[in-house]
A and B are shown apart, each in its own frame.
Chain A
Amino acid sequence: MMNFLPLTDSVPLAHIVGLGVAVFAAGTFGFLVRRNLIVLLMCVELMLNGANIVLVAFSRAPGAADPQVWVIFMFAVAAAEAGVGLALAVLIWRRLRALDIDALKELKG
């Protein structure tokens, strides 16, 4: 399925995409198994960046520069998100004196 992508660089596209997927998987795994809220936020950042890597990799396809635009766009969003997330984490810390996600079950039905 790669053969329709023109490979102009020495690093094959598949490797770059593989890296992106690996970063994303690491983020996802971390998100699912870790308990600390800050770590979870970092994992979310990892997932975002995994996606960014894939986007950048694919942007090398001819006539498809816009993924790079999205990536820059996503940096901004991620920054904002990190800001909000950290602010929430601070508030939760203030209120519960804990950043363990198991302590946050207010929404249990």
Chain B
Amino acid sequence: MMIGPDLLNIAIYLPLAAAIGVALLPRDKEHLAGPLALAALLLAFVPALALYLGFDPALPGMQFAQDLPWLSALGARYAIGLDGISLLMFMLTAFLGPIAVLSSFEAVKEHRRFYYASLLALQTGMLGVFAALDLLLFYVFWEAMLIPMYFLIGIWGGKRRIYASVKFFIYTMAGSLLMLAAILWLYFDHQSRTGIYTFALSAYGNAATGGTGMLLFLAFALAFAIKVPLWPFHTWLPDAHVEAPTAGSIILAGVLLKMGVYGFIRIAVPFFPEAAMTAGWPIAALGAFGVIYGSLTAWAQDDIKKLVAYSSVAHLGIVMVGALVLEPAAVSGAVLQMVNHGLSTGALFLCVGMLYERRHTRLMADYGGIAKVMPAFAAVFMIVTLSSIGLPGLNGFIGEFLILFGSFKVWPCLALISLGGVILSAVYMLGMYQKVFFGPVTNPANKELPDLKVREWLCVLPLLALIVWIGVYPNFFLKRLDTAVNDYIRLAGGQRPPFSLTQEGK
């Protein structure tokens, strides 16, 4: 089969087909739901991998593109395709999916068919968001993805799952509706100007300027900022993370948060370059502020999951700086850092989940001395921790390095503020590590915990491999980004001027 849109469609819809299959399993075959879901996602990973390898980094624009009539009366088309940026996001999603499923085999015992069907449907929704080239299609996928996630948190979550899931749903929905209003405004405005009803992304480059452009930009920006989550729209995240089951947290942190930044890169900024040029700095400043703020609040947590959730606010903050600074290296770094954050935070949630399965608590105070009881797990957790704090040689550093160095040339102040996160991340992450793993084993319940099982190794090893791989040889990933990043910057109205390093004596 040619590497083309067919493969892309298979990669997107195979999980959905499997979701239907899993949901229709007879009750006495319920135990097959997990393995079936895993098989489907692994199978779907194959076309995704083929797409990744078949992607030509030199070609501009979208690849594997397909454009079919969909809702002709509305002018909506079924348009999909990938460029370098969405390709990396697509791969990240396809990669994390099987791990999330595998991580649930023992944790989830109730309503397994519905659970795996939700995970699979979610997968299709996420992949669709990254591949969609039509606004309506994008919106449909964007909203469709919300529902399975709502169920995942609300049914298989922790004690306050209802509160968390409703908060997550309403908060995201409020942003989405604003976005829908903006989409409709654009749609009718386009029709009134050209007489054509269309939702094609490519039709809306520089769609509006002036005050209207700014309002529309802000409508989109708010929807995406909630998803990122940008300070101060972040408070749904810790609740959702703490209550979500492990797989939900992995997907939430690994992929869902990336959609916010992806939305900025794909829609908000190219649609309204003028507004983005003006509002870019304040939004990036919120991101940089979030780096410090997220780090400080993470430091104050007793709950490991909540700590990781707040660290996400910090990590995504720096990504926002990179995405909006419109400097090629910083934008590449931002996209790569999204992948990195997906891997390292996904792995962190995975590890916290493993601890939780053993001890049914997430409070650091309940642990201590785990390194002695579970040495292999401690080593894995250490690598993941180091990746999260951006140790050179692991993936986190590459992204942070590119964002910091790239954005420093334009916004030195924001880069320096973000740099503060480098110090603080070591403080809270290593503090957490010490509380959980070091010291004597004081709690008798911790004396006899089994070390990693084969299934858990299978979850963790691919993540570790990528964490090291990206750190040592990032060019395998960066290479595919260059063209797309340049396209993005061109659509955004070109690079921002660097700040002046005034030459003395001139």
Direct contact of A and B (CB under 8 A): no
State the B residues within 8 Å of A (CB): none
